[in-house]
Amino acid sequence: MSHSPLRVLILGATSGIAEATARLYAAEGARLVLAGRNAARLQAIAADLRLRGASAVDIAQIDFVRDDARQAWLGLLATHGAFDHVLIAYGVLGDQPTAEQDSAAAESIMAANFTSPAQWSLAVAEDFERRGSGSLVVLGSVAGDRGRRANYVYGAAKAGIAALIEGIAHRFAGKGPRAVVVKPGPTDTPMTAGMKKGGPLWATAEQVAVVVRRAADKGGPVQYASARWRLVMLIVRLIPSAIFNKMNL
C-alpha cells in the first residue's frame, strides 16, 4: 500500500540544523517547503534536496520577525495546502554584553528567539487543532534551562518558547496533533562560528537533526539533543546559588 509523501514546512531553512533535518526528510521522499529570507541560499538548498530524493521542494521568502506570522501562514496554506510537519528552526544568538547596554539589541534577540516563533507556533497550532493532526517541532536551547551571565537574554527567550510549546502540547493532549521543543546543547553550525568548539558536549548539526526528525513522530513534549543534556541541565539547575554564582558558566 502506497502512502502520500509527508508535506513538510521548514521555517528558517538555511540554518545548519534545519538543512541537516531537511536532508533526512528528503531521503524519505517528502514534499518540502523551505522558508527564509535569503532566496538564493534557499534555491541552492532546494536543488540539493531534490537530488537527495525529495519528491518536491518549493521555497518561500519570508522575514519572520517583520512579516505578520498569521497572514504569512495563511498565505503558505493557500499556496501549498496543509502541512503534516512544521519545523521552526530560526533564531539568533546575539551578543550578551551589547544586549545589556542596547535595548534594541536585546529586543532583536527576544524577537527572533521568542516573539516571532511564538506567533508562528500559535498560528500553526490553531490549524493543527482544527484538523486534528500535524506535528509542530520548535528548536529551543539548553540555555533556557537556567539563566547564566554569559547569555541570559538569549536564554530567557529560549525559556519562553519552551514554556509556550509545552503549553501547546498540553492543549493538544488527546486531540491528535503534537508539539515538541527540542533543546540542543552547543552545536557546530554557522551560528556558533566564533566559539571554541570541541569536547564531548558539542554536537554536529547532523546529530541534532536525527533528534529533531524523531521528535516529529514520537516522544515527549521536551527533548534534548543529545539526551545526555537532560541530566547535565538537571544537575545545573540543582546547583545552589551560592555555588553557582562563583562559577564561570
Catalytic positions, please?
154
Q: Which residue has the cell 527572533?
A: 112
Task: Please spell the DSSP secondary structure of the chain, one letter per residue.
Answer: ---PPPEEEEETTTSHHHHHHHHHHHHTT-EEEEEES-HHHHHHHHHHHHHTT-SEEEEEE--TTTS-HHHHHHHHHHHH---SEEEE-------HHHHHH-HHHHHHHHIIIIIHHHHHHHHHHHHHHHHT--EEEEE--GGGSS--TTTHHHHHHHHHHHHHHHHHHHHHTTTS-EEEEEEE-SEESGGGTTS---STT-EEHHHHHHHHHHHTTSS-SEEEESTHHHHHHHHHHHS-HHHHTTS--
